[in-house]
Each structure stands twice: as C-alpha cells, then as structure tokens.
Homo-oligomer: A and B are copies of this chain.
Amino acid sequence: MNSILINGKKASQISVNDRGFQYGDGVFETIACKNRSLIYWNEHLQRLNNACSILKLAITDENTWLKDIEKIIKTHDEDQVIKLIYSRGEGQRGYKLPDPTEPVRIVMSSPMPVYTEDMYHQGVSLMVCKTPASSNSRLAGLKHLNKLDIVLARSEWSDETIFEGLMLDDYGNVIEGTMSNFFAVKNNSLYTPILKRSGVNGIIRQRIIDLAKNDNIVTQQIEIKLDKLLEMDEIFITNSLIGLCPVNQLESNRYKTGPITRHLMMKLQQDIKGREL
C-alpha cells in the first residue's frame, strides 16, 4: 500500500495551479529504505538542497523532512522506496515566480522493486534508445521534474528481457540510462559520462566515483560516443534502488562481469552496510 504526505498531512491531491504540474517546476529524490533505515540520506538531502539553490526554491530544513519520512516509514514493515517531491507550489498564469512562494513538500512510499540475485550475477541487458536526452547546462545533474525525454525513451520497449535503455544526447554522447547512471571499464580504468549538459548526478554514481578513487582505480568523467562502448571490457549501471548492476549485453554486444565491476559492487555493499544506522 502506498502512503502520501503533503506538507506533513495525509493527502493525495494537489492544486491544478501547482507549478509542479503546470511547468514541472520542482525537484525530487528517490531513496531506498531498508530495515527502516534511509540509505545515503545525507547525500540525498545535500543533492536536493543544491537543486533548490539552483532553482531558487527555499530550502526546507532536515528535521521537517525527517519528521514526515518517519511517519511514513513506521506504517510499513517491509523495505520501501521513499520518494520526496518538492514543488514551487501554487502560482498564477505565467512563468514569473509567485510572490510569496509557498513550496509544497511531498513524501510518498511504494514497495521496493524485486531485484533477483541473477541480475547481479549474470548482468542485465540494455538497448540504445532513439529518444535523445535533453540538454541544458544549467539543469544538468539535477533531479528535477522535467522528465519527458525519459518518459519517451522508456516507452520505446516493452520486451521484459530488456532491463534498461541507454540514452544519448543530440550530439551522440552517451549520457545515462532512463533510470540509472552508466559506467564502463577499459584496461582497468573506469569511465562515466561527464554530465555537463544532460543527465542526473546519481547518488550511487558519486559513491562509485569516490570508492574507485579511494582504491586508486583511474576514474574519468568524459564524453563517450556509442562506438567506443564496443571496445569496453566491462559495463555496469547504478541507481539508488539497484545499487550497482553489471550489464551483460548492449544491443547485440556481449560483456562479461569483470574484476573492476565485481570489486566495486563489493565495495558499494560494504559502504551501504556502514550507512545503515
């Protein structure tokens, strides 16, 4: 069962005049909640607040968020996905910011998706989407509510053997999956797309970059064209619910779960265990 709190109160509807609905004027976070503990809460809160600064949204203090989240968590026993949405709130017609602005905070929970052991051992299959990732240097990295590019990319397949779709920008640069960040390994070096104009700077993406650097794995954020992926030794994807998952196939190209992927998967598991407090 799903539960929703809007500004701390049980509710399920928002105003049609909410700018989140009118313009996608807001941000969100998707957080894994395991054993009633939020995974990487500090990192999620920091990313949310950073997005608020860029979008000129007033920051809601940590305790207010946590009080709402606690209320939701305690109504469920099983592991959950906690989604926070923070919208600009109601406004009149037109793009000008409302004055005063009264942002709306939403906390909702849904059941944790089931990920099989097989996925992590054998890897998953990816396709390349035709829908380009949207570009905007000001919005790049943020987890905002403008997701039409992702919606269209995700609508390109219904074959359940395809786990994820890889998106490129209009200039042929690999950006990310529809719900995950993307990594590749070549000659023991780690590569991930630089998110200068597109993409979401995932929490796990950043953890993987940091964990790899800690272990002296050469790590680069660079522009990657699709044809370069054919030469790669290992490929994997990351997000806050899945963690790290190896990729065994991209279109017709096959990949093996290699040593760097296995090493970083283990390191991430340890790191997450250390945070479950």
Contact surface of A with B, Cβ cutoff 8 Å: 4, 6, 11-25, 28, 55-56, 81, 83, 85, 87-88, 92-97, 106, 108, 110, 131-139, 144-155, 170, 178-179, 197
Known A-B contacts A21-B14, A24-B145; the reply to A152 vs B134 at CB < 8 A is no
The reply to whether B138 and A144 contact each other, CB–CB distance below 8 Å, is no
B-chain residues with CB within 8 Å of residue A11 when the two chains form the complex: 16
Is A148 touching B15 in the complex (CB atoms < 8 A)?
no
The residue that A23 contacts in the complex, of B97, B134, B151, with Cβ under 8 A, is B151
Counting every copy of the chain, the complex holds 2
Chain B residues whose C-beta falls within 8 Å of the C-beta of A20 in the assembled complex: 21
Q: Does A95 contact B179, Cβ atoms closer than 8 Å?
A: yes
Residues of B within 8 A of A152 (CB): 55-56, 138-139
Whether A145 and B106, one on each chain, are in contact in the complex, defined by CB atoms closer than 8 angstroms, is no
A94–B19 touching, CB < 8 Å: no
Report B-chain residues with C-beta under 8 Å of the C-beta of A133.
Answer: 136
Most buried by B among A16, A19, A134, A197: A16
Given A15-B13, A146-B147, does the pair A170, B135 have CB atoms closer than 8 Å? Answer: yes
Chain B residues whose C-beta falls within 8 Å of the C-beta of A4 in the assembled complex: 16
Q: How far is the CA of A20 from the CA of B13 in the complex (A)?
A: 13
Q: Which residues of B contact A25 (CB under 8 A)?
A: 147-148, 151
Q: State the CA gap A148–B146 with chains docked (Å).
A: 7
Does A154 lie within 8 Å of B97, measured CB to CB?
Answer: yes
What are 12 A-to-B residue pairs whose CB atoms are below 8 Å? A22-B147, A24-B147, A25-B148, A55-B152, A94-B154, A95-B150, A132-B137, A133-B136, A135-B197, A136-B170, A137-B170, A139-B148
User: What 8 A-B pairs have minimum CB-CB distances, sorted nearest first?
Assistant: A24-B24, A146-B146, A23-B147, A95-B154, A13-B13, A134-B136, A135-B135, A21-B21
